[in-house]
Structure 1
Amino acid sequence: MSKSSPSPVPSRLVRAGGAVTWRLRTGVRALPGQSLDPADLEVLLVHRPRYGDWSWPKGKAELNEPLPVTAVREVEEETGQVVALGAPLTTQRYRLGSGQTKEVRYWVGTPLEEGAALRTRRPVEGASHREIDARRWASPSRARALLTRRGDRRLLTEVVARAESGTLITSVVALLRHAKAVSRSSWEGDEAERPLTRLGVQQAIDLIDMLSAFGVEQIVSSPWLRCASTVGPYATAAGLDVDARPELTEDAAASDPLPASRVMEELASDAPAPVVVCAHRPTLPVLMEPLAACAPTRVQADLPRESPWLSTAEMLVAHVARSSREAASAGDGAAVTAVERHATYTKLVLPD
């Protein structure tokens, strides 16, 4: 009897997400742009009895789950702590025993104790004691001694460096292209009233988890129906009003792009809370210009460079480090430290 051929080594990439969640010690306060003493920080670790290690909370993405949604879900499942995501950290890649490559996307996480985004979170089932048997807030020095993997210690070093440089506290300014709309050629009504398709409606619903993951507390939108309908489900779930700006419509931006550009410039320089701006494809480059203007060259390279700029229901998330009052008085303003793009997987399960 001939020997059977060996099974092929799996090559599928295993996608996972997690966060290095931090907080300030009790009694310590900090302002954006302020350098933080690492001794004033605490970070959240988990212990996995199966591996006998201390690590950052993380886990594999569920089917068609965007990684930011994975990250906040896994942190809550493993620690009980609800978090909002800040700027991304270095992606970790390593080979599993099965031969697969695991890629873990990490973000800075901050505890979410109140606010609109908290109202949008779905209930999660906590990790079993067999999976996670201990959770601990620890100082960076204690965390470094506990962490088992070298890659996890590198992430801690990255967080501490940002704290010392004043860039650990960042704000989210997200630019969202509206969901899939009925085509112009098949619509005979007023352009401002062109609605979403069935796919677009589902994309808008699926965006709730994505906007929640980044802790969005403010919604700015073109008043045209396809934009308003895109952010409507999140606004309803979060209990937020939509700040409709006529200067963001296609017609207004084409006639005079400066007012639309100023909307984004003002939000990037002084948004009071994580904000999303929903707009039309032709206005996207106008709205990206203020972000590019306050971004270093390495970040500018990550901005979309050609039409259609973003896919329908895709979001460009800019992470803005704001200056301390002292830095602002010296002429240094807000700076975009990172940008990333995220979209729903709606098209995979609901073709248009």
Structure 2
Amino acid sequence: MSKTVEAAGAILIRIRSGKQLPISVSSGDVLSDEDFHALSDCVEVCLVHRPKYDDWSWPKGKQEQNESLFRTAVREVGEETGTPASLGPFLTTLEYPLNEEGGRKRKGVSGSTTKRVSYWMATPLDALQEQQRHVAFGPVHEADISEINDVRWTSISEARHMLTHSTDRTVLDACVTRLRESALDAISFTIVRHGKAEPRKSWIGTDAVRPLTPLGAAASFALSRELACFAPARIVSSSWTRCADTVLPYALQSGIPLERNDDFTEDAYKTHHQTVLDALESCIQTALQEKRNTLLCTHRPLFEGIFENLRGMCLGTSLAKRLPKISPFMQTAHALNLSVVNSAHGPIIIDIQKVAPIVY
């Protein structure tokens, strides 16, 4: 019987000390070879050495019980490199027989067991960002020296030569493609549907104060663990109770103010449709200008207009198709994470990822 072991990791990338990103990186256009060469001279990636296999590879590890692959990737990067990080665009997934881990045949492991590793692009957090997301994400413990005994920051070209396995160079190629899409200058913009609320028919009171159910509150709390993987620095919500309470756990855990906005309520959408879309555009533009990962929580009825608006921002039609078209668009207490870059033509979405809470 075949079995798949899930794992996750990331290419951790940063700007070299004393360097600045070229202006062309912020253009939102796919970089030319010349512009990419200028970019690659300014950045470095992080490799780890595993003494067990005597190889250089990307930080990664197996998924733990009750853990999403987002959390696995962030946790493993933190454990193996000592650097807290937030996830950016998805890169690729690799699969190989588990008994060939490290390029060597392993005894006692069935050849029918496959290891599947999902990779993201990731960037280091500064001290304030790490402090803000620490409670929601939880502690990260340093890897034992028997697992990781060296960590190196190198250029992209040096990494290509240092990597032991050809499959890791495939991951690097995926990262290069993302860098050509200006991904290093991207911000994370996460759109959340509020948690399950008390039924309208049984609620006595105004719709604006209709609260979450206990299950909805539990899912909202669990969602905060996933949101921490993207290290939001700004939290915006519809002013109505069920939306604000969905992202309140992360606001309380991080100390980031919760901004209640009347423009993202159901009533606003019914009476002033364009006002909602203008508020969304303003929110995204502010996130790009201030380089702040942003979290927005709103209601199901708004998603039809919001997603239609966002489709026009997508890098390509295949990416635009990943925005749901049919109600309810996404489940309660679920989210879509968008990687957005700026351009002369306005914001461009280069990646979309589904985010779900794990309640156990």
The TM-score, its normalising length taken from structure 1, stands at 0.89
Number of residue-to-residue matches in the alignment: 331
- Structure 2: 5+ residue stretches without partners: 28-34, 100-109
Q: After the TM superposition, which residues 1-352 of structure 1 pair with which residues of structure 2 at under 5 Å, given as runs?
A: 9-11=1-3, 13-30=4-21, 33=26, 35=35, 36-97=38-99, 98=110, 99-116=112-129, 118-121=131-134, 122-271=138-287, 272=290, 273-295=292-314, 296-323=316-343, 328=344, 332-346=345-359, 349=360
Q: Please give the alpha-carbon distance, in whole angstroms, between the structure 1 residues aligned to 2:114 and 2:281.
A: 40
Q: Please give the alpha-carbon distance, in whole angstroms, between the structure 1 residues aligned to 2:113 and 2:332.
A: 32
SS at match of 1:311: coil
CA contact (8 A) 2:223 2:358 kept: no
The two structures, once aligned, show a CA RMSD in angstroms of: 1.7
Q: Please give the alpha-carbon distance, in whole angstroms, between the structure 1 residues aligned to 2:281 and 2:95.
A: 36
The TM-score, its normalising length taken from structure 2, stands at 0.87
Q: Deviations over 1:223-264 (max 9, x none)?
A: 111111011111111111112111211122122221111122
1:307 Cα offset (Å): 1.1
1:143 Cα offset (Å): 0.8
CA contact (8 A) 1:116 1:238 kept: no
1:337 Cα offset (Å): 0.7
1:222 Cα offset (Å): 0.4
CA contact (8 A) 1:116 1:240 kept: no
1:10 Cα offset (Å): 3.6
Q: Please give the alpha-carbon distance, in whole angstroms, between the structure 1 residues aligned to 2:183 and 2:283.
A: 18
Identify if the C-alpha distance between structure 1 residues 242 and 136 changes in structure 2 by more than 3 Å, giving closer, same or farther: same
| Greater mean deviation of Cα atoms: 44-53 or 164-173 | 164-173
SS at match of 1:299: helix
SS at match of 2:18: coil
What letter matches 1:131 in structure 2?
E
What letter matches 1:310 in structure 2?
M
Q: How many percent of aligned residue pairs carry the same amino acid?
A: 39
Q: Please give the alpha-carbon distance, in whole angstroms, between the structure 2 residues aligned to 1:18 and 1:69.
A: 10
Q: Please give the alpha-carbon distance, in whole angstroms, between the structure 2 residues aligned to 1:288 and 1:269.
A: 16
Q: Please give the alpha-carbon distance, in whole angstroms, between the structure 2 residues aligned to 1:239 and 1:187.
A: 31
Which residue is 2:107 aligned to? none
CA contact (8 A) 1:294 1:334 kept: yes
Q: Deviations over 1:268-323 (max 9, x none)?
A: 33412111110111112222223211112011111112111011111111111212
1:165 Cα offset (Å): 5.0
1:151 Cα offset (Å): 2.0
| Greater mean deviation of Cα atoms: 250-259 or 227-236 | 250-259
Identify if the C-alpha distance between structure 1 residues 143 and 65 changes in structure 2 by more than 3 Å, giving closer, same or farther: same
What letter matches 2:57 in structure 1?
S
Which residue is 1:3 aligned to? none
- Structure 1: 5+ residue stretches without partners: 1-8
Q: Please give the alpha-carbon distance, in whole angstroms, between the structure 2 residues aligned to 1:182 and 1:305.
A: 25
